Amino acid sequence: ADPTILITPQYPEGLLIPVMAIPKEEIVDTNGAGDAFVGAFLAMLSMGRPLEEACRAGHWVAGQVIRQSGVHFDPAHRPTF
């Protein structure tokens, strides 16, 4: 639930990217959340998207993953970041 700290030459002191709150009762399994974040983050970067947007995409995908048991993602879901 803590924000992601983005440190770049543009933000040498760090830029906090807040995480959308997820109600505790919706959190089922946190396995794979970090991998999901990194995958979405890198996918957005590979498409030339800004770092802040890549972080929000990572947060969104990780938020979807922790709402289900096991590590999988339903491609029918569309991001809302």
Q: Which residues are annotated as catalytic?
A: 35
Single-letter code of the amino acid located at 45: L
Question: Rounded to an integer, what distance in angstroms lies between the CA atom of residue 29 and that of residue 53?
Answer: 25
Reported as type and span, the H/E element at residue 78 is: none
Question: Rounded to an integer, what distance in angstroms lies between the CA atom of residue 7 and that of residue 17?
Answer: 11
Question: Rounded to an integer, what distance in angstroms lies between the CA atom of residue 30 and that of residue 77?
Answer: 18
